Amino acid sequence: MAATLPQVTQEAGTNTGREVTGAAAAYRTGSFRALGHEFMVVTSDAALSSYLEALFAPLASDRPAAHTYTLTERPGAGGSDWVLDFDGAEIGRGDPSRALALLLWDVNRSAVQRTRGLVLLHAAAAERDGAAVLLPGAMEVGKTTLVAGLVRAGLGYLTDELTAIDPATGRIRPYPKALSVDPGSYGPLADLEPTVPAAARRFLPDQWQVLPTAIRAGAVASTATPRLVVLPRYVAGQATELRPLSRADALIAVAGCAFTFDDDPAGTLAALGAVLRSCDCYELRSGSLDEAVRTVVDLLDRRLAMTGVTHP
């Protein structure tokens, strides 16, 4: 069954919904928080505004937005362009799908740039009973696909892209954005295909945006402590291979995925070392999502069993 994005109810008297500004109507979303990046989106398209309100719902914030993206259609060289502004300055333009893709890209980029005091990893993460599995790696290794499979299998969702660890506590602060699923993973995740209102479809990039709550109600986790590190590598046709890693080798790999490493190499290395000392570490190669999910769930359950926590 296809997963459906929730419909947005636009209420008068709030900071969402239709707002008349001069001669043009502008639709403004609520406030959202991508870790240290607080933003809202203003657009001239009602369907797009509703879609964005639903898409960013896992990041909804009570705080006023510090920054504003504006997505509007304007005259361009070939007729018209959709233009993305950030705090009044243009950051890109193109067809509707490119404009939305650029918005999603910039939200992630700004989350990295504006977040302070946390160790930021290019990693997906999921959890069970407060014990998290980190899935660090470069693009295209299968992080999002694997974390989608894990959430579908019952684990809590923390992020598919940017894992933020508080070095003071060792705990993960979630960034539960919609999972960005590439076409290559449509097959194994076919049941998660989102249903998008027809009026908003022209804005969709060639990628599914899957809400974690559409995978499973209550899937978003609040926090967790890393207990397992699995370096995933999807290889088509590969039989599933799990290889233990020394914590030193895992630290090198994870440090290579740290966005803030160059800002404070010694501090970041020390923080990651402290986190990994409590983790079992592996490298996982697989051509089967189901087998990869079973392998990771089994590892996590065994780790939890060591602490007296069991799952049926």
Partner 1 sequence: MSRTVAAEDIGPDFAPRRRPDVASVEMDGEAVLYAGSAGMHKLDRVATVLWNCFDGSVTVRELVADLDDVYPDADRSRIEADVLACVRQLGRQGLLAGVAAAEPPEPMEAPGATDAPGAEGEDGASR
Closer CB to partner 1, 27 or 82, in the complex: 82
24 lines the binding site for partner 1 (CB under 8 A): no
Q: How far is the CB of 161 from partner 1 (least distance, A)?
A: 5
Rounded to a whole number of angstroms, the minimum distance from the CB of residue 185 to partner 1 is: 13
Binding partner 1 (rule: CB under 8 A), the pick from 52, 55, 71, 111 is 111
Size of the site for partner 1 (CB under 8 A): 42
The strand pairing partners of 230, in sequence order, are: 282
Select the span of 6-14, 66-74, 132-140, 227-235 touching partner 1 (CB under 8 A).
132-140
- Pick the stretch among 5-13, 22-30, 226-234, 241-249 that binds partner 1 (CB under 8 A): 241-249
76 touches partner 1 by CB under 8 A:
no
Closest by CA to 133, choosing from 228, 224, 222, is 228
| The total number of residues written for the chain in this structure | 312
Q: Can you tell me which of 277, 298, 309, 311 binds partner 1, judged by CB under 8 A?
A: 277
Nearest CB to partner 1, comparing residues 92 and 167 = 92
Among 257, 292, 293, 304, which residue sits at the site for partner 1 (rule: CB under 8 A)? Answer: 257
* By CB under 8 A, residue 130 contacts partner 1: no
Q: Which of 23, 77, 236, 266 binds partner 1 (CB under 8 A)?
A: 266
In this structure, the strands spanning 225-234 and 131-136 are parallel
Rule CB under 8 A: is residue 235 a binding residue for partner 1?
no
139 near partner 1, rule: CB under 8 A: yes
Confirm or reject binding of residue 6 to partner 1 (CB under 8 A).
no
End-to-end C-alpha distance for the chain, whole angstroms:
26
Using CB under 8 A, pick the residue from 269, 278, 287, 301 that binds partner 1. 269
- Tokens 């992080």 identify what position? 143
Distance (Å, rounded) from C-alpha 24 to C-alpha 270? 53
Quick check: 248 binds partner 1 (CB under 8 A)? yes
Interface positions, 36-75, toward partner 1 (CB under 8 A): none
CB–CB of 233/284 below 8 Å? yes
Q: What are phi and psi of 155, to 5 degrees?
A: -80, 155
Binding site for partner 1 (CB under 8 A): 92, 98, 101-102, 104-109, 111-112, 122, 136-140, 161-162, 180, 182, 205, 246-249, 251-252, 255-257, 259, 261, 265-266, 269-270, 272-273, 276-277
